[in-house]
Amino acid sequence: MRIEQIAWAAVPVPERLRAIRALRHRMAAEAGALVDSLASRPGRTPAESLAAEVIPLAEACRFLEREAARLLAPRRLGARGRPAWLFGVRAEVRRDPFGIVLVIAPSNYPLLLPGVQLVQALAAGNAVLVKPAPGCAAPMNLLARWLVEAGVPDGLVRVLGESVEDAEAALAADVDKVVLTGSAATGRRVMATLAGRLVPATMELSGNDAVFVLPGADLGLVARALAFGLRFNGSATCIAPRRVFVPHGDAAALESALMARLSAIPPVPVPAAVRRQTIRLVTEAVAAGARPVGPLPDPSSPAMAPLAVADARPGMALLEEDVFAPVLALVPVADMEEALSLSARSPYALGASVFGPEAGASALADRIDVGSVTVNDLIVPTGDPRLPFGGRRRSGWGVTRGAEGLLEMTQVKTVSVRNGRTHPHFAPFRPEDEELLLAAFRAMHGDGRTRLAAVPGLLRALRARLQCSTR
């Protein structure tokens, strides 16, 4: 694989992008096969698979086709801003591939998330190992085969097994970068493994996303948005709404509007471990004074209906743990200052949404410490392939997607070239050089009076230096 990667890195970027364009065209021609490969996602319709994964991945490919050559091109630095003492030096910043990138994929979006990371890594000149989540290898096997048929060298992309042991073996192998999408707990384990070898990683981890409802917000719109967040992909989305901060005066109306919509959403299968966690969190919250809006989860059922928990208060674990089930908490607040304060108590900082008049909502968005904020919407705007996506604090670091996500698949190299044979810095310092350097420093960096006062000394020191150099 290392040999194939070295050869692929030598291929001009436009040629690499031709393979990605061919992949996009193949996806459009055989979209049904991609949808069929996603059949492991429980409760998801073909239309939802197209909207949630297939089309966004194609858009991400097209973004690379349009932008990658420019973003990956060497950036030449002109004379502007170059220190005077580097006269004659040309410099440029280059983007080199890491080598072999390991993508550890999640189960909630088994095509889109690893697919974007795969094509970005390939565009940057890397080889790629993809470790799918259990039961989710089918879409990645299909992409890998189509990429080879599109012109990517055989052996450059390898889909690994689905087990934990396969992941551990891959992490122990000779990889140069890891991109993980998963829980915070998985992130800790992966980073502990990588730390000994100092392998860099991009971590897209858990969320417990906040929704801020400003005074004057359209509560009907907010209720529709929250219901969408609980329904879309079975609410197994890292930026689904979990904590809803709503003014006291609007809490009852929002609860009523949301209750009317939740009853229309069918139950969805939820993994047993997630179901147990959700039942524990909801039970603790109700015991502490919160109220369930909707049926409580049935421990004996593998499916779970969407649930809102009203009158949630600070200190409840429901507001502080990463939850991956169709549940959210309604938190009444006095104002948005209190909402910001309470929101900051969560260790997760992946995304947030703000609903209300645009000017006030945008101003509040500036103050929210998360990686992505949407205003008067949920989830969908983050599908824009131009936008980088990543979290802060316990939600990870680094980004995928967008220009920044592409550049995360590269490492920086700078190249500086000096013209001519003059290298005055090679000579040892002499006593008279102190006056020259001090005068030059003041002339370049002092205020107006300091610079003016430094000129005579600078001229005097230059004459002395020239006289010495001619002896």
Q: How many domains does the chain have?
A: 3
Q: Cα–Cα distances in Å, from 217 out to 103, 249, 314, 340?
A: 40, 12, 23, 17
418 lies in some domain: no
Q: How do 241-247 and 209-213 pair as beta strands?
A: parallel
Is residue 181 domain-shared with residue 44, that is, in the same domain? yes
In this predicted structure, the answer to whether residue 471 has a pLDDT above a threshold of 60 is no
Alpha carbons 90 and 459: distance in angstroms, whole number: 27
In this predicted structure, the answer to whether residue 226 has a pLDDT above a threshold of 90 is yes
Is residue 289 domain-shared with residue 236, that is, in the same domain? yes
422 lies in some domain: no
Confidence class for position 469, pLDDT limits 50, 70, 90: low
330-369, pLDDT tens digit by residue? 999 999 999 999 999 999 999 999 999 999 999 999 999 9
Please choose, from the candidates 69, 65, 160, 68, the residue with its C-alpha nearest in 3D space to the C-alpha of residue 114: 160
Is residue 54 domain-shared with residue 142, that is, in the same domain? yes
Q: Is 414 exposed, middle or buried (0-12, 13-18, 19+ CB in 10 A)?
A: exposed
Residues 301 and 272 sit within 8 Å (Cβ to Cβ): no
391 lies in some domain: no
More confident residue, 294 or 230: 230
DSSP collapsed to 3 states, the chain: CHHHHHHHHCCCHHHHHHHHHHHHHHHHHCHHHHHHHCCCCCCCCHHHHHHHHHHHHHHHHHHHHHHHHHHHCCEEECCCCCCHHHCCEEEEEEEEECCEEEEECCCCCCCHHHHHHHHHHHHCCCEEEEECCCCCHHHHHHHHHHHHHCCCCCCCEEECCCCHHHHHHHHHCCCCEEEEECCHHHHHHHHHHHHCCCCCEEEECCCCEEEEECCCCCHHHHHHHHHHHHHHHHHCCCCCEEEEEEEHHHHHHHHHHHHHHHCCCCCEECCHHHHHHHHHHHHHHHHCCCEEECCCCCCCCCEECCEEEECCCCCCHHHCCCCCCCEEEEEEECCHHHHHHHHCCCCEECEEEEECCHHHHHHHHCCCCCCEEEECCCCHHHHCCCCCECCEECCEECCECHHHHHHCCEEEEEEEEECCCCCHHHCCCCCCHHHHHHHHHHHHHCCHHHHHHHHHHHHHHHHHHHHHHHC
Structure token digits, residue 255: 């609860």
Q: Residue type for 166, please? A: D
239 lies in some domain: yes
193-207, pLDDT tens digit by residue? 999 999 999 999 999
In this predicted structure, the answer to whether residue 401 has a pLDDT above a threshold of 80 is yes
Is residue 344 domain-shared with residue 250, that is, in the same domain? yes
Share of the chain above pLDDT 70, in %: 98
Alpha carbons 102 and 104: distance in angstroms, whole number: 6
pLDDT at 364: 98
Q: How do 372-375 and 327-333 pair as beta strands?
A: unpaired
User: What's the CATH number where 95 sits?
Assistant: 3.40.605.10
Burial annotation 441-463 (CB, 10 A radius, 16+ → b, else e): ebbeeeeeeeeeebeebbeebee
Please choose, from the candidates 382, 377, 333, the residue with its C-alpha nearest in 3D space to the C-alpha of residue 355: 377
Is residue 76 domain-shared with residue 53, that is, in the same domain? yes
396 lies in some domain: no
Q: Cα–Cα distances in Å, from 289 out to 139, 217, 309, 310?
A: 45, 27, 10, 9
In this predicted structure, the answer to whether residue 192 has a pLDDT above a threshold of 90 is yes
Handedness of CA 388, 134, 42, 318 (dihedral sign): negative
Is residue 114 domain-shared with residue 182, that is, in the same domain? yes
389 lies in some domain: no
Average pLDDT of the residues in 251-272 = 93
Is residue 181 domain-shared with residue 35, that is, in the same domain? yes
Please choose, from the candidates 222, 243, 211, the residue with its C-alpha nearest in 3D space to the C-alpha of residue 374: 211
33 lies in some domain: yes
Q: Residue type for 243, please? A: R
Burial annotation 131-159 (CB, 10 A radius, 16+ → b, else e): bbbeebbbbbebbbebbeebebbeebbbb
Alpha carbons 309 and 237: distance in angstroms, whole number: 19
Q: How do 268-269 and 327-333 pair as beta strands?
A: unpaired
Is residue 194 domain-shared with residue 312, that is, in the same domain? no
Alpha carbons 423 and 285: distance in angstroms, whole number: 72
120 lies in some domain: yes
Confidence class for position 468, pLDDT limits 50, 70, 90: low
263-277, pLDDT tens digit by residue? 899 999 999 999 999
Is residue 196 domain-shared with residue 215, that is, in the same domain? no
pLDDT at 267: 92
Is residue 106 domain-shared with residue 242, that is, in the same domain? no
More confident residue, 297 or 30: 30
pLDDT at 470: 47
422-466, pLDDT tens digit by residue? 787 888 888 878 888 888 888 888 888 888 887 887 778 777 766
Q: Which domain holds residue 439?
A: 427-470
6-62, pLDDT tens digit by residue? 999 999 999 999 999 999 999 999 999 999 999 877 778 899 999 999 999 999 999
Please choose, from the candidates 97, 112, 274, 319, the residue with its C-alpha nearest in 3D space to the C-alpha of residue 204: 112
Is residue 227 domain-shared with residue 373, that is, in the same domain? yes
Is residue 162 domain-shared with residue 245, that is, in the same domain? no
In this predicted structure, the answer to whether residue 290 has a pLDDT above a threshold of 90 is yes
